[in-house]
Structure 1
Amino acid sequence: MLHKARKSNTIFRPHFKTHQSAAIGSWFKEYGIDKITVSSIEMATYFYQNGWNDITIAFPVNPFEVPAINKLSGDIKLNILFSDLGAFQLLAPEIKNETGFFIEIDNGYHRSGLDPSSPDIEKLLILAQKNRNLVFKGFLSHEGNTYSAASTKQVKAIHSQAKDNMLALKSYHITDYPDIIISMGDTPACSIVENFENIDEVRPGNFIFYDLMQLGIHSCKNEQIS
């Protein structure tokens, strides 16, 4: 997975939600990985305490977590995730330190995030300009629907459509935000696709263990299951 990312000049930011272990996290450090993904501020704090200082929380910001976010963002490079305009309006003014943020895009999983064509994306970015502590990092998505795909072909189709959506968003906004990236991540697609061409960052997590479900869609081999 790391070789594929490096070959495509793609940032490899593995998701640590699957293992939530400092010991397993140290395996990644041995391969030169210094950026990670987590799913909560508690998990981010845990891994910060174990030597990680470039962390993306790939889960929509919880209002009750803002004080902890402000505390942690003073010590590390922290990226957070906004999934709707209402949450941004409520929480953005409370961010006190320089903090990166991604806008979550819903490419068909329908768990959270904005539709790629939603006018709320532009509204959110206009509001973000009022808080200098918030740094727009780009667009993030999780194609969790690949986990229920019936075949390798279906996984590739889901990934291809999502990638097209993300690239279109980046292309539209790149003039105003030249440093933005697109961040994608699900183990089935990351395992199956031949390369990560034009994807700036990938965030697979389950690949560290794999499972029988992924064996069924051929994203791994039997001997790769922990």
Structure 2
Amino acid sequence: MLNNIVKPTLLLNKARAIHNIETMISKAARSGVRFRPHFKTHQSAAIGDWFQERGVAAITVSSVDMARYFANHGWQDITIAFPVNVREIDKINALAKTITLNLLAESEESVHFLGSRLMHPAKLWIKIDTGYHRTGLSWDHGEKIAALAGTIAQEKRLTFQGLLTHSGHSYRARSQQQVREIYADTIAKMQATREGLRQAGFTGVEISIGDTPSCSIVENFSGVDEIRPGNFVFYDATQLAIGSCLVGQIAVAVACPVVAKHQERQELIIYGGAVHLSKDVLVQSFEPWGEKPTYGAIALPEGSGWGPILSNAYVAGISQEHGVVKVLQEDFDRINVGDLLMVIPVHSCLTAHLLRKYVTLEGEVLELANLS
């Protein structure tokens, strides 16, 4: 199968992905929490089937169009974990008519708009910021949160479901202990926010959390009602650096042809650049070069897939189509123009989004959603 690869190709180890899915399902079940995986990572109806076959019934997506795609493939309980875009109200109404739709808001304006324009029932979560500082109401702005919950309660087609957060700052952690500390801090803040709402008269308020590092490393999710990890289905070089996964759990790699060699720099040039791998970067230590930014880890082909990660090889530079790979002399000598290098993505979600299809190690081609 590898002999047929002529350009950057996203390989998928199906057995590893399914193992990752089953592991997270079991972990959620042990804690008695709802498992609502985020499908923005894989964006594939075929991979979605692997979840459904194992009893998963509720999912998360990142856009209205992605929700439509998965609704058209049989999913009936979908959360759009992105602040509601009021300009897409017609599509939102079409979805709310046919599925259980969960929306996300953090402003009075959005809630009032939904109240006046939504034609079918929907559940609404309030987005809470517990430290990531991307979006959401700050967890300690209790009066604002209670006021927004009250506004939601007044709208006849909206049901206030609870508080939702994404602790994306866990991706900056570089140890399991740091992730556990971020998780503990997040849960303490979310529970304090819920307690404030309880004192304001709101009962049955749920808590939803969703970052892959926390969901992979933490064992006990008591105190929350729902987990929404996404990246765990594939993992990547970042998750490996954090300690969220073992190398044997990484389920995707990009097969990239070697197109040139530069002896004076001990560098290989691959057909595989920013339009294939993204420009996400990870800083790691490589002997003998010290700490360096990398755009992907490197493995060699093995069987129909890839072997162990080379500890002192990395994608050192990237442009639109080119990747520059730094290697030790012994690796430089054994790799030839025309060979394949396997790049473990820094961020598998973006790499999948860019390449738009997977080739499993068995040779099956799985297309990503066409969201245009």
TM-score, normalising length: structure 2: 0.59
5+ residue gaps, structure 2: 1-23, 252-372
Contact map agreement 1:37 1:58 (CA 8 A) in 2: yes
Among 196, 219, 224, the residue aligned to 1:199: 224
Q: More deviation in 83-92 or 52-61?
A: 83-92
Cα separation, 2, equivalents of 1:39 and 1:32: 22
Alignment equivalent of 1:111, drawn from 108, 123, 134? 134
Q: State the AA in 2 paired with 1:35.
A: A
Structure 1: how far apart are the matches of 2:49 and 2:202? Answer: 34
| Equivalences for residues 98-177 of structure 1 within 5 A | 98-118=121-141, 119-174=143-198, 176-177=201-202
- Cα drift, residue 172 of structure 1: 2.9
1:35 aligns with 2:58: yes
Match status 1:23 vs 2:46:
yes
Q: Is the 8 A contact 1:10 1:201 kept in 2?
A: yes
Pairwise CA distance, 1:181: 0.8
Q: Find the counterpart in structure 1 of residue 320 from structure 2.
A: none
2:160 alignment partner, SS class: strand
Q: CA deviation at 1:42?
A: 0.5
Shifted more, 182-191 versus 119-128: the winner is 119-128
Gaps of 5+ in 1: none
1:63-116 alpha-carbon deviations (Å, 9 max, x no partner): 111111111101110000002334334444222211000000001101100011
On the 8 A contact 1:85/1:120 being kept in 2, the answer is no
Q: Comparing 197-206 with 146-155, which one deviates more in the overlay?
A: 146-155
2:213, 2:93 → 1: CA distance?
A: 34
Segment drifting more, 7-16 vs 76-85:
76-85
Is 1:185 aligned to 2:210, yes or no?
Answer: yes
| Mapped pair 1:216 → 2:241 | yes
More strand by share: 2
Rg (Cα) greater in structure: 2
Q: Give secondary structure in 1 for the equivalent of 2:104.
A: strand
State the distance in 2 between where 1:65 and 1:173 align: 30
Q: Distance in 1 between matches of 2:56 and 2:157?
A: 27
Letter in 2 for 1:135: T
Which structure's residues are more often helix, by fraction? 1
RMSD: 1.3
Separation in 2, partners of 1:47, 1:213? 27
Q: Which amino acid aligns with 1:214?
A: Q
Aligned length: 226
- Deviation, structure 1 residue 26: 0.2
| Distance of 1:162 and 1:104 partners within structure 2 | 13
Mapped to 1, the partners of 2:32 and 2:153 lie a distance apart of: 30
Residue 77 (1) aligns with residue 100 (2): yes
Separation in 2 of the partners of 1:177 and 1:28?
33
Deviation at 1:153, TM superposition (A): 1.4
Q: 1:178 is matched by which residue type in structure 2?
A: T
Do 1:116 and 1:165's aligned partners in 2 also have CA atoms closer than 8 Å? yes
Name the stretch that deviates more: 176-185 or 22-31: 176-185
What displacement does 1:180 show?
Answer: 2.2
Aligned sequence identity (%): 47
What's the CA shift for 1:186?
Answer: 0.4
> Is the 8 Å Cα contact of residues 84 and 120 (structure 1) preserved in structure 2?
no
- Does 108-117 or 123-132 show the bigger shift? 123-132
1:156 is matched by which residue type in structure 2?
R
Contact 1:83 1:103 in 2 (8 A): yes
Q: Which amino acid aligns with 2:43?
A: Q
2:115 and 2:156 in contact (8 A); partners too: no
- AA aligned opposite 1:98: P
| SS of alignment partner, residue 105 of structure 1 | strand
